[in-house]
Each structure stands twice: as C-alpha cells, then as structure tokens.
C-alpha cells in the first residue's frame, strides 16, 4: 500500500484561459502554468481585437477619424472623443465655447458612471453575484437614454467635434438629467448594501491581488487601480483640463490596494461624478456650442500630446501633424494597455478563481488594449 502512495506524483500543467471565456470581457488569452488550482505563472496574449486604428488614422481626415475613436473603448466612447478633440484643439489652438465645455463634462461624467456600472455589473457577475448585474444595467439604461437623447446613439456616440460638440442638448434633457441625479444617488447605496460588507464578497476580495504602489507606477498603471494603492492622483484635479477646476469633488483613494479597495474606489468615484454632473447642470451657461472650423481643416505642423482621466486611467493621443488635412501619425495611449501588464505580476500564487476577481478588479477593456 505504502508503495503505491509513493508512486503518486504531482506535476504542473498548462491551461488556456480564453480567448473565448466569459470572464475575460472581450477576447484575451491567458496562458496559465498551474500547480493544482494555484497560478504559478501567466502570460497574457493580446491582439485579438487589433483593428489597426493607428494606421487608419493616417488615412483619414481629422473629422473622419472621430467615429473611429469611439471604437477604441466602446463603453466609454465620450472620453475617446474628448481626448482626441482636445489633442487637435491644442495642436491647432482652437478655443472651445464655455457651453460646449459644460456639455462635454456632463456627457463624460455620465459616461464615466455608465462605464463604472458595466464594470460593477460584470465584476460582481464574475464573483457569482447576479443581482447587482441586473441593477447596474437597469441604471445604465437610464444614462444611455439621456445620451441617446443628445446624440442619437447609445454606445458609439461620435458626439464631440474639434472646437465643441456636434449638437446642443434638448430642452427636456436638463430636467431629466436632474431627476437622474436624484434617482441614482440612493442606488449606489443599494449596490453597497448588497456587496460592500457581504461576507462572501469580502472573502473573495479582501487581501486578494495586492499591487504595491512602486510596481504600479513602474508598470505605468493609472486610474482607479493606481488610486487604490493610496496615491491621490487624478488628472482632473492635479492637471485640470477643460473646466474641471470649477467643480468641487473629491478623489477617493484606497489603502491596502487589494481587489476590495479597487472596488471601493470606483463606487466612490460614481458618487463624485454625480456631484460634478449636478454642478455642471446648475451652472450650464447659454451660448454657442462650437467654434467654427474650416471645411477642409488643416492644423499647423507640429507634435502634441494631450491626456485626460478616463475611467480606466490616463488616456492620451499623441498626434504628429505635417500640416496636411490628415494626421501624419496618431498614437493612442490607453489605460487598459498598461494596466493589463501588471496582471501576471499580481496574480501569481493565487487560485484560478481569484485570478478572475483580480482581472475583473483591474477593469480592463480589450478593444482599448488592442486598438
């Protein structure tokens, strides 16, 4: 008998997680080296959604390229629009009318909430909680209705233009948006009631997937995942672009930088975004919504980089212009691309079920990684 037991041995094996896997939120392949249930090593394979958006940019005019920016991150398209338009405005030195800035901020902050709601819904679904998913999509629907009312689209908005926005908000928008702010604040408490102190949720998230601040910075992690390490850094506050310096809001940070902290930072961010929307709706001035730009738009030759705080971290466009109607080179810097690089570092030694929680907590959206 004892002879037989000593012949039992264990060995490490490889598991392919993805590209088609419900918790990879898109198409990502993780090649895992497993010892039983424990992840020993992991190599992410990306590129399944590469649509060569940077090459396409060289072949389109600046205006033609705006709908393509929607596709960079289709759950927060407004940010891609804004980031691209801001870069071109900086390049060509085009002012944006005040009303347009206010409308932009209302739209991006609503979009930030919608994006965080998708994250919260799918993240809790990954952990086995189905109810929050249904709640989140119920509220997100209301935001999409508001955005649709303004720009006619529910996902890929194509709303902003160089020098402003494409159309004014309608008369019904403001009262409906104000109603939404009132309606949504207690809903955030509702999500918290279900999740924040739920013992199952806590045991799945507390102390899991620790990411120390030095590793995070070294790997270029930005956004809520960086703030969860305790670094108070938000481009809206620390490098105010657009008119963010006129609004009052806090930058939530975490302490332990585990999965739970990253969850908490995003929950708090939704409340802060709501504050900004409320203030922007109250202060919305009258006036033009767009600076006139020539039909054949030729910015001066030069190089520009402009970055904004998107829901997944720093999003920036590096544009090289040679003075022709088409950009010479466009580089898209996205939060998810850099945030995904730490996944293999922080998931080593955790069980495969924790890997799902850790990956979910980084809020990676694959089209943004592959571009």
Partner 1 sequence: MSPEDIKEILTEKYSDKLKEDKIAGFEPSFIIEKDSLLEICRYLKESNGLSFDLLSCMCGADYEDRFEVIYLLFSFSNKHKLSLKVQLPKESPEVESVTSVWQGANWHEREIAELFGIKFKNHPDPRPILLPEDWDEGYPLRKDWSGKDFKRMPDFK
Query: Alpha-carbon distance 29 to 15, whole Å?
Result: 10
| Contact call for residue 41 and partner 1 (CB under 8 A) | no
Rg of the chain over all Cα atoms, to the nearest angstrom = 22
Q: Which two tokens stand for residue 283?
A: 């202060």
- Euclidean distance between CA atoms 370 and 166, whole angstroms: 28
Q: Which is nearer to partner 1, 95 or 288 (CB)?
A: 95
Rule CB under 8 A: say whether 116 interacts with partner 1.
no
Complex with partner 1: residue 67 or 220, whichever CB lies closer: 220
Looking at the Cβ atoms of 38 and 231, the one nearer to partner 1 is: 231
In order of 198, 277, 298, 313, 346, the CA distances from 331 in angstroms are 43, 30, 19, 16, 28
Q: By CB under 8 A, which span of 286-294, 334-342, 347-355, 358-366 interacts with partner 1?
A: 334-342
Strand pairing partners for 320? 303, 329
CA distance 317 to 256: 32
Site string for partner 1, 230-259 (x = CB under 8 A): -x-x----x---------------------
Q: Could you say which of 27, 29, 41, 54 contacts partner 1 (CB under 8 A)?
A: 54
Please select the residue that binds partner 1; options are 21, 31, 41, 61, rule is CB under 8 A.
61
83 binds partner 1 (CB under 8 A): no
13, with CB counted inside 10 A (0-12, 13-18, 19+), is exposed
| Interaction residues for partner 1, span 213-232 (CB under 8 A) | 215, 217-220, 231
Q: Is 120 exposed, middle or buried (0-12, 13-18, 19+ CB in 10 A)?
A: buried
How many residues bind to partner 1 according to rule CB under 8 A? 41
Interacting residues toward partner 1 by CB under 8 A: 46-47, 50, 52, 54-55, 59-61, 90-91, 215, 217-220, 231, 233, 238, 296, 302-307, 314, 316, 318, 320, 325-326, 328-329, 331, 333, 337-338, 341, 370-371
């Amino acid at each position: 008998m004892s002879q037989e037991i000593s012949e039992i041995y264990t060995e490490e094996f490889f598991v392919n997680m993805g590209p088609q896997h419900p918790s990879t939120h898109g198409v990502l392949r993780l090649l895992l080296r497993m010892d039983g249930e424990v992840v020993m090593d992991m190599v992410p394979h990306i590129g399944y959604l590469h649509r060569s958006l940077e090459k396409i940019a060289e072949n389109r005019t600046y205006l033609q390229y705006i709908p393509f920016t929607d596709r960079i991150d289709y759950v927060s398209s407004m940010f891609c629009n804004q980031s691209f338009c801001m870069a071109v405005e900086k390049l060509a030195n085009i002012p944006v009318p005040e009303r347009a800035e206010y409308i932009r901020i209302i739209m991006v902050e609503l979009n930030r909430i919608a994006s965080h709601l998708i994250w919260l819904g799918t993240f809790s679904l990954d952990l086995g909680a189905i109810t929050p998913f249904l709640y989140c999509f119920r509220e997100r629907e209301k935001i999409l209705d508001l955005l649709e009312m303004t720009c006619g689209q529910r996902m890929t908005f194509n709303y902003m233009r160089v020098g402003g926005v494409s159309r004014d908000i309608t008369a019904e928008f403001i009262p409906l948006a104000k109603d939404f702010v009132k309606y949504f604040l207690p809903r955030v408490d509702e999500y918290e009631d279900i999740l924040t102190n739920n013992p199952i949720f806590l045991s799945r998230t507390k102390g899991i997937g620790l990411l120390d601040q030095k590793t995070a910075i070294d790997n270029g992690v930005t956004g809520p995942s960086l703030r969860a390490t305790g670094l108070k850094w938000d481009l809206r506050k620390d490098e105010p672009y657009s008119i963010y310096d006129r609004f009052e809001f806090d930058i939530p940070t975490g302490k332990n930088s585990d999965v739970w902290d990253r969850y908490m930072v995003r929950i708090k961010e939704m409340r802060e975004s709501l504050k900004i929307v409320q203030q922007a709706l109250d202060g919305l001035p009258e006036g033009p919504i767009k600076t006139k730009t020539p039909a054949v738009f030729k910015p001066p030759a030069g190089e520009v980089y402009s970055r904004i705080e998107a829901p997944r971290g720093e999003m920036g466009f590096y544009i090289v212009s040679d003075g022709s109607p088409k950009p010479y080179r466009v580089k898209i810097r996205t939060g998810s691309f850099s945030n995904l690089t730490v996944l293999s570092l922080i998931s080593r030694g955790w069980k495969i079920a924790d890997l799902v929680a850790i990956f979910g907590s980084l809020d990676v959206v694959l089209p943004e990684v592959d571009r």
